[in-house]
A and B are shown apart, each in its own frame.
Chain A
């Protein structure tokens, strides 16, 4: 057979039907004759095929015609678009005021959208900078835990992680990580660094390789004794060590352990937790020595859940399939755990609940992000808000275009009369509006850059290391371009369609009424929707502002005004339990004695920091109903803590020197046993109310755990007033306080210093006191409690301020629209007003004549807004505090603001109408 490609070439170029087939046949026949003769037929065929193709190329008439038609059509459209763009440029240049107002409206709308989108994109949509992030999943567990849990309670224990890794059919890789702050001493000073303890599979599974040196490898998990190593993030290496290559190989003191820097991670990689950029990576195997405390036995302890486990799915598998495949194995491991000695005292209910635990696998290409979870609703709410602002801006520009269309009616009529098609005119007008929108969009980008920097300021704080940049990138530019183009079509379409249909002959004869009825109706519809949208935004803003106000004024249960707080960790300088407790005692005593101090106290869990220590408790003589658990929020405190916080005792006593165990106790590794060391506790009033039905608490005994027969060795010695714990938003829950000095260790001490004057002025004193006791121990997290409260409300503040700003902006834009329509009506009805005045109408009547319209528009807007608000505020219910989504006060305030602004917008043109000179008005046409 002849060469395939040559045949294909011929079929492609030759005409269809017999004309082409005969030639193909001739060549085939000759090719075969030549083959039989033993001559080189293939080459000959190729040459002939080329010669024939060259002659016939483009000679197929049908094909040629088709081609010609399509090029002509394309170039025709292109030509017309180009000339339309030129024409649009010329017409826009003749009305600079119109252009300025329109561009400013669009720029505000598009700019706000771009600014919010920059954050939405980076905080909510961006994937981790790793290989094929879409394959990454997060493996979590659901169900009752028996033991302790760090984090959300959905984490896994290390032995369980190893089980999954050993029995892995669905992942190409599996790794685990634990985020923690470690103290790092590079020889000059101690500082806290955001760290990740990572398994050896962490970097290989993510596909992240070292920028310098090497990263932590699977071998680091299996080595007989783990090597003391650490990997730095590129950002930390650059900022702390000035990107010095010699740092690789150096030894750093991490939590007082000598670790060797073996490498630097690549520049874009900040770990797996967005919003808390990792600065150093430490092998998980080092957790017992580097972190110690509860983590000392964590690598073997099945009762401690603390690890985030990520997997990379085998190609083609969905998370749901993986989950289904893993569940049987997971259940079998739970059954194995339940037979272990640790469950000896567990009740049947607890056991059966524990065995029902499930595994969940969900996509995690974006990593683990607390920030994402926190900001998801606020950011989407803001995106919705700015979307509405843009719609209002669009309506304004559409309204302007409609007004402009009236003055261009003649132009359109002439164009139609001389043969332009309606489609052609719509095209031309649309190009004009898209051009306008693009100019607005470009101006909006400038706003956005400024706006998103401002935005970031709202939720970046000193202790939150954020990897969000405000520089517009390709995605943001594409977003802005798309939004602008859609905006242009959106506000241009209706006006264009309307202007393209004037009645030709009356218009040309100048006899047509200067306004088309449909056009002014459309403008009213636009204004009504503007009013409605802006009212929805105002109501939303009202709710967010009230939420913030409620939170700020909420009674936290302690005196926020005069308290300085900071954190000290004696463990950072190698103190063991006894020395740490000694350190704490002398620190509290010296702080209390320093001038300006009223009281000082220490807790191991800071308040309003989001963290908590909660346990199920057994109360003597008050067995819980089956399946119910007596959960309490706990804290360990020093004597003086209640005084420092401004909490007062309701009955019994506070902790004092009796409540301490200053002998060298065995270093408790097991969380359960360590808790058993406490002899006394103090309950809050909520505990008494909820768990004791108000009966006297002092003298009653409690114990940790909820298994039947749990001993209750701890005596309640006092009851203290209620106070918030994790955040101001929380309801007051039952709490128990235990003395730090009775526990085995004193780590991570959150110090509260109550002052007589400005607490911020006491920072120096506090530093001096600590420095006196230990010159290298650093103070972390130095804040006044007021600042802490402020910080904990950053998201609420963001929502409240931005929704208020955008709500007012929207209202302003809507009122410009309202003013435009009313002013236009006044002009239109000038002659009518003149006649009315001539036959005796007073100024007041004329005023009412115009304002009546305004009232109708506003009333229609309000009627439209209320159901809309009812639906949309429900979406943000979770963000509210102390107000319902249909808060009468917020609605009333919003309507009030709207009415005032609408009255101003309506009164200006109405008064002009009322002051008109009837004679002049009558002459008006």
Chain B
């Protein structure tokens, strides 16, 4: 089965969820994206991208208990699925293949 290729933002989202691990709640994802990747996006864009990744089977979430600060409304705790990990891996390989040999041109090689 050939997994769909990842867009750049999707790539970033999957990495963020992996990085946050057991803390990958919706709100934390947004904060992590902003602080680490410098990406401030509207909540509408955030949730629809997360929903899209869920539809592709790369992410899934389960409802976690809410806190008093949010009137007890549930939270989404995201995990990356096996296909999600596979898609990240493939994406990284593609990128690696593409980067090979052109790193000197950019002077600032990515590691």
Contact = CB atoms under 8 A, between A and B. Distances in A.
A23 B42 contact: no
B47 A52 contact: yes
Contact of A25 (B44, B47, B48, B66): B66
Looking at A21, A28, A48, A50, the one whose CB has the most chain B CB atoms below 10 A away is A21
Contact of A28 (B48, B63, B71): B71
A24 B66 CA distance: 11
Interface stretch (B2-10, B73-81, B87-95, B100-108): B73-81
A93 interface: no
A18 interface: yes
Interface string B34-51: 000000001111011000
Contacts of A100: none
Nearest to A14: B47
Contacts of B98: none
A22 B75 contact: yes
Interface string A511-536: 00000000000000000000000000
Contacts of B63: 18, 22
A25 B42 contact: no
Contacts of B25: 26
A213 B95 CA distance: 93
Contact of A29 (B42, B47, B67): B67
Contacts of A53: 44
B11 to A, nearest CB: 20
**What interface size band does chain A fall in?**
20 to 34
Contacts of A33: 69
B69 A48 contact: no
Interface in B14-64: 25-27, 30, 42-45, 47-48, 63
A28 B70 CA distance: 6
A55 B74 contact: no
A28 B69 CA distance: 8
A29 B43 contact: no
B26 A23 contact: yes
Contacts, number: 63
A25 B73 contact: yes
Given A22-B26, A23-B26, A29-B27, A52 B43 contact: yes
A559 interface: no
Nearest to B28: A26
B27 A51 contact: no
B106 to A, nearest CB: 35
Contacts of A52: 42-44, 47
A26 B44 CA distance: 12
Contacts of B48: 55-56
A40 to B, nearest CB: 16
A300 interface: no
A32 interface: yes
B45 A51 contact: yes
A47 interface: yes
A30 interface: yes
A249 B32 CA distance: 89
A64 interface: no
B73 A48 contact: no
A54 interface: yes
A29 B69 contact: yes
A21 B45 contact: no
A51 B43 contact: yes
Contact of B75 (A25, A47, A54, A55): A25
Q: Which among A25, A29, A48, A53 has the highest number of chain B CB atoms within 10 Å?
A: A25
17 contacts: A21-B73, A23-B26, A25-B70, A25-B73, A26-B25, A26-B27, A26-B43, A32-B69, A47-B42, A50-B44, A51-B42, A51-B44, A52-B42, A52-B44, A54-B44, A55-B45, A56-B48
Given A32-B69, A54-B44, 6 more contacts: A22-B73, A25-B71, A26-B43, A29-B70, A52-B47, A56-B47
